[in-house]
Amino acid sequence: MPDDPTPPYPEQQQPMPGRTDAMNPRPDHGEDSYKGSGRLQGKRAIITGGDSGIGRAVAIAYAREGADILIAYLNEDDDARETQRLVEEAGRKAVLVPGDISNPDHCRSIVDKAVAELGGLDILVNNAAHQASFEDIDDISDEEWQLTFATNIHAMFYLAKAAVPHLGKAGVIINTTSINADQPSEHLLAYATTKGAIQNFTMGLAQMLADKGIRVNCVAPGPVWTPLIPSTMPPEAVKNFGKNTPIGRAAQPRELAPPYVMLATDEASYITGATVPVTGGRPFI
């Protein structure tokens, strides 16, 4: 078990959406620790936000479990190429698709590209998200509110709708919600609201797709040390990030990958409509 860093973290700020190489300490995505055992052999997956953070950790784990992957991301080309390298190093195919998932047509093109390049689709991981911190409701513009919803929840609908015809029996959709769905932060009003919507969307969609054999679940992370943190939170929040958990620190991205793997495997054949909390001990009901 690595000796994971604990707060206080060094002072740091980045422009949105943030870059992995600029973080101190550098996040651990499981590059040197995740060992696969063929649990996803031959599967084909889309991972949105797969360039960094939780998405990169899931991409590494999926590849080492035998899956080929399409990595959808906004514009972080350096991070995306590094994730691609790690996937290909595991002997699997990695397709990069940059672009804005708040655009419905782009969401549909992601699915079309995956089917064409990977030869089909078995798993959709809706992980990409936008967040920004605000002290007062007056500080949140109409455009900011709309962007957060378009990126965090509307895109899940567009991607899921496009993916369902290709998933077939034993298909899997995994959505990333948050501890904020249960314990919303007053400084993340728009983001937290979308995360509650994601959990509701997951439970409803699971029921809708059950007769097709498609399982839909979500993972609810607590604080995770990703580029989103120094690029969207004020300095004091970054410095003490994760200190409010019983474990006393933020998760490293590698610690989020195992539930995404488990939920994607046939071992989870009777799990649908569920939320898996990975919160460092913070209660999630």
Q: Which residues are catalytic?
A: 191
Q: Which helix (H) or strand (E) is 124 found in, with range?
A: strand 123-126
3-state secondary structure of 275: strand
| Contact (CB, 8 A) for 128 and 147 | no
Q: Angle, nearest 10°, between helix axes 53-64 and 77-89? A: 20
| Contact (CB, 8 A) for 151 and 99 | no
Token pair belonging to 193: 């609201």
Token pair belonging to 185: 């932060």
- Which of 35, 34, 89, 27 has the alpha carbon at shortest distance from 52? 27
3-state secondary structure of 252: coil
CA dist., res. 135 & res. 133, Å (int): 7
Q: For 55, what's the count of Cα atoms within 13 Å in the CB-facing half-sphere?
A: 31
